[in-house]
Amino acid sequence: MSRKHSKAAVASAAASTEGLVVGSHGRHCIVETEDGSRRICHPRGKKSQAVVGDRVLWQAPPPGQGEEGTIEKVLERSNLLYRQDEIRTKMFAANLDQVLILIAAEPVFSESQLARALIAAEDAGIQPIIALNKFDLPEAFALAWQRLEAYRALQRPDGSPHYPVIPLNLTSDDPEQKEALMDLLAGKRTFVLGPSGVGKSTLINLLVPGAQAATNEISRVLNTGKHTTTTTTWYWMDAARTTALIDSPGFQEFGLYHIAPTDLPRCMPDIGALADQCKFYNCTHLHEPGCAVMAEVDKEGSPHCIDPNRYRIYAELFDELSQMRY
Ligand SMILES: Nc1nc2c(ncn2[C@@H]2O[C@H](COP(=O)(O)OP(=O)(O)OP(=O)(O)O)[C@@H](O)[C@H]2O)c(=O)[nH]1
Ligand SMILES: [Zn+2]
């Protein structure tokens, strides 16, 4: 082989291929190629640290050097869902269409955690859907549904619901419920977020044929002899690979350190709808005279009435995010 030819051969062997990150564990990832096959890849450097949902350019190893590839480049993301506290940033997933926030009649959900998840999704520009599971527990469900009233009432300027809020009973095999869920998810990449015990595994098993097998496969591939902790997992719901559910481990605290306190109204639509009518353009809506937001808190009968719990969450977050900054 001429020198020129061998150079070309090396270049083509080392050519990068596009792939989708479908699993991650620590710093390594599982990349799915166009033909659906999967392999472990390691980031080349700090800049190529990928998360589930990322499109990446990856390279196979040179012949004789095993199966594991390298991620050369993370392609530009359309969005990234993450949380951040004083110490670290935790990236959930990238390039999402929707976040399904799953809560349940039991265990009782934290409204503050729900509000935080909604704020993070708004900030990332990802459509949130709230699903309240376990409607077969009538008393607890009625209470929880009531607690969601402020969320159910939120509307976009055209009168459509700002957050779809859907009741579920995931232990039932009602075909209509399944069909409605399929319709909601069809053709989209949906990240499932929710505390422990709400029914995330039940949801995945209901909608993803062979989910357990897929999970086992990912653990098998990732488990290189070490103990494998929970990971974020991508599931295709259809053979054509157009609809995806992404499941992640639960979390304790949802830090929003990446959001400036003055950005909160933009991410809380009920507050944001009034924020530009305050007397002062830089009103914090906490104490200023002529504040249009404060005037509407718990104002019965007003179409712009702000739920007092929502306002309390706003004020607490404003305080928390301001303190973290100084
Ligand atoms: N009554 C009732 N129980 C449900 C429903 N959906 C799920 N469960 C039960 O709730 C419990 C928790 O469900 P999982 O699917 O394991 O919840 P998870 O969110 O995956 O929880 P973790 O594994 O802890 O993250 C299980 O015992 C389920 O059988 C429902 O609609 N009604
Ligand atoms: Zn104000």
What confidence score (pLDDT) does residue 8 get? 45
Its CATH class, for the domain covering 261-325, is mainly alpha
Q: From the CA of 285, how far away is ligand 2's center (Å)?
A: 4
**Residue 286 DSSP class:** S
CB 79 within 8 A of CB 246: no
The CA–CA distances, whole Å, from 151 to 114, 129, 164, 203, 306 equal 10, 11, 9, 22, 11
Residue 198 near ligand 1, beta carbon < 6 Å: yes
Q: Which one of 132, 168, 171 would you pick to mutate in the ligand 1 pocket, going by the greatest count of ligand atoms within 8 A of its CB?
A: 171
Whether the domain at 13-74 and the domain at 80-247 fall into the same CATH topology: no
What pLDDT, on a 0 to 100 scale, did the predictor assign at position 213?
Answer: 67
pLDDT at residue 166, as a whole number: 97
- Looking up tokens 């100084």 gives 326
What is the reported pTM? 0.90
Helix (H) or strand (E) holding 158: none
195 pocket-lining for ligand 1 (C-beta < 6 Å): no
Q: Are 66 and 83 in contact (CB under 8 A)?
A: no
Nearest partner of 193 among 111, 99, 120, 96, judged by Cα: 99
Cβ(196) – ligand 1 distance below 6 Å: yes
Percent of residues in the chain assigned helix, strand, coil, to nearest 5: 35, 25, 40
Residue 230 in contact with ligand 1 by CB distance below 6 A: no
| The pLDDT value given to residue 2 | 47
Enter the tokens of residue 268.
Answer: 């809380």
Q: How far is the CA of 193 from the centre of ligand 1 (A)?
A: 14
ipTM rounded to 2 decimals: 0.97
Ligand 1: distance of its center to the CA of 35 in Å? 34
Exposed / middle / buried, residue 273 (Cβ in 10 Å: 0-12, 13-18, 19+):
buried
Dist CA 32 CA 39 (whole Å): 7
Please give the pLDDT value at position 248.
84
* Ligand that comes closest to the CA of residue 262: 2
| pLDDT tens per residue across all 326 residues of the chain | 444 445 544 444 568 899 999 988 777 899 999 988 999 999 988 777 899 999 999 999 888 888 899 999 999 999 999 999 888 888 899 999 999 999 999 999 999 999 999 999 999 999 999 999 999 999 999 999 999 999 999 998 898 999 999 999 999 999 999 999 999 999 999 999 999 899 999 999 999 978 876 666 666 666 654 444 557 889 999 999 999 999 987 777 889 999 999 999 999 999 999 999 999 999 999 999 999 999 999 999 898 999 999 999 999 999 999 986 55
**Closest by Cα among 110, 75, 81 to 94:** 81
Map tokens 């599971």 to a residue. 133
Element (H, E) at 18: strand 17-25
- CATH for 13-74, among 3.40.50.1370, 3.10.290.10, 2.102.10.10, 2.40.50.140? 2.40.50.140
Where exactly are the structural domains of the chain? 13-74, 80-247, 261-325
Q: Which CATH architecture has domain 80-247?
A: 3-Layer(aba) Sandwich (3.40)
